Structure 1
Amino acid sequence: MRGNLLIGAMLALTFVAGCTSPVNRVGGDPGPAGSPSTSASPPSPSVSSAAATGSAGPGAPATRTSRPATPVSEIRRTDWPNAVIRDLKFCGESDDSVKFRNGSNGLDVPCRILPDGARPVYADFVTEEPANAPSTEDALVLVELGNPDAARRQALVPVQLSYNGRERYARPIILGDDSSPSGDRVMTFISYRVVGQNVQATVRKLDGGTETRRWRTVNLAGNWERY
């Protein structure tokens, strides 16, 4: 009888020890901030192997696992440092096209496109010509005329695709202020953006101060006025 009691007590102790033993956890390096958390737990038995691998069973409709990439507009494909832009009279060339190479047209008084790391702004903000032309994105780019050690002047240039979508045309520009007579002080566009059909920019004036300026078109030709 005593032997049976001892055996029962030992079995009870074994059961309690098994219930209170610590749970083994699988460790791992934390992922970068914002990444989905990972789990070391095995998949639930209720999840079928077909669902886990992403395959569809017989008769199940095919599902798309990723969305197609958004197509890039033609104007965004422009290689701006080597672009050819027509009607850009700001650069002072006699030809109807300005051909940039490595960001400059290479003349004695050079015209530089997107100087000092400036970037283009894309938006559909230029009136389409002709009126039945397909609506496409346009670009606003910064161009600077003059040598770095002499009088310089900057301008914001709206660029529009031609009707056939292959050529790039400059529309009426937004001209910056004249530099100082000695050329040691230059008005520069610090930043610029398109707001609806209008243009807004932060500029650094000749006296070193900054201000926000806004322009809107005043006629169908696309000329700008400050307001």
Structure 2
Amino acid sequence: MRDELLIGVALSLTFATGCTSSAGSLGGDTAASGSSSDSASPTSLSASSASTTGSGGPSAPATSTADPGAAASEIRRTDWPNAVIGNLSFCGESDDSVAFRNGSNGFDVPCRILPDGAQPVYAEFIVEEPANAPSTEDALVLVELGNPNAARRQALVPVQLSDNGSGRYAWPVILGDESSASGDRVMTFISYQVVGQHVEATVRKLDGSTENRRWRKYNGSGNWERY
């Protein structure tokens, strides 16, 4: 009888040990929104996304990864495909603001926000006015003007919350190169990031080669210059 009890206990321990998994957890989605840190580094795209570039169109830009422990700021809650952004003159509209719906403003020559799977980058890189205002995160988003398979141009758009926190408005944009005259070759942003108050990006030029570029603000109006 005692031997039978011992055998039963041994079987119970064996079963329990076999069903116990090791401790650990998976990380967050590395293709998510940008970091709120002062220095944000971009993540690599998956091979399937990056390999679709070719001559037919731009690849989806890589962005910096989100901090899983960071609380969602107000600007991170933005529904970018349906955002209303003021002061975005790059899109060629006469109105003070551009209203996107499903990622486009719907014009004959459309302006598209975050095209081809691009993601926003978040960081504190736009000077707050007044100077003693609470520091909040800003966003850097990719916008493209023009029809696919036609002459079009891309730009990186710094976006800041309005004073009351309910609106979004653009600062001067970082322009990509103009496309070829026939529109068959377009400069695209492959990746972009915010480092301190500067912007760094990798671009694919008209000749198909890639180049790393950097920009910094050169005046109080937020205009940018390459350096």
- Check whether TM > 0.5: yes
Does structure 1 residue 76 correspond to structure 2 residue 76?
Answer: yes
Q: Which residue of 2 is the match for residue 86 of structure 1?
A: 86
The CA deviation at 1:71 is 3.3
The answer for the alignment partner of 2:127 in structure 1 is 127
Q: What value does the CA root-mean-square deviation take over the aligned residues? A: 2.3
TM-score for the superposition, normalised by structure 2: 0.73
* Structure 2 spans left out of the alignment, 5+ residues: 26-68
Which residue is equivalent to 1:26? 14
Q: 1:151, 1:179 within 8 Å by CA — same for their partners in 2?
A: yes
Map of 1:197 onto structure 2: 197
Which residue of the partner structure matches residue 106 of structure 2? 106
State the 4+ residue runs in structure 1 displaced beyond 4 angstroms: 21-24
Pair 155,70 (structure 1): closer, same or farther in 2 beyond 3 Å: closer
User: Sequence identity of aligned pairs in percent?
Assistant: 76
Aligned to 2:164: 164
Which structure's relative contact order is higher, taking Cα pairs within 8 Å and 6+ residues apart? 2
Q: Structure 1 residue 216 and structure 2 residue 204: aligned?
A: no
Separation in structure 1 between the aligned mates of residue 71 and residue 24 of structure 2, nearest angstrom:
27
Give the letter aligned to residue 129 of structure 2: E
Question: Mean Cα displacement is larger for which, 164-173 or 124-133?
Answer: 124-133
TM-score normalized by structure 1? 0.73
Question: Are the equivalent residues in 2 in contact too, given 1:133–1:163 (CA < 8 A)?
Answer: no
Bigger CA radius of gyration: 1
Unaligned runs of 5+ in 1: 1-16, 36-68
Q: Counterpart of 2:85 in structure 1: which amino acid?
A: I
User: What CA distance in whole angstroms lies between the structure 2 residues aligned with 1:187 and 1:121?
Assistant: 20
* Separation in structure 1 between the aligned mates of residue 93 and residue 173 of structure 2, nearest angstrom: 16
Partner Cα distance (1:117, 1:166) in 2 = 25
The reply to whether residue 145 of structure 1 matches residue 145 of structure 2 is: yes
Paired residues, number: 179
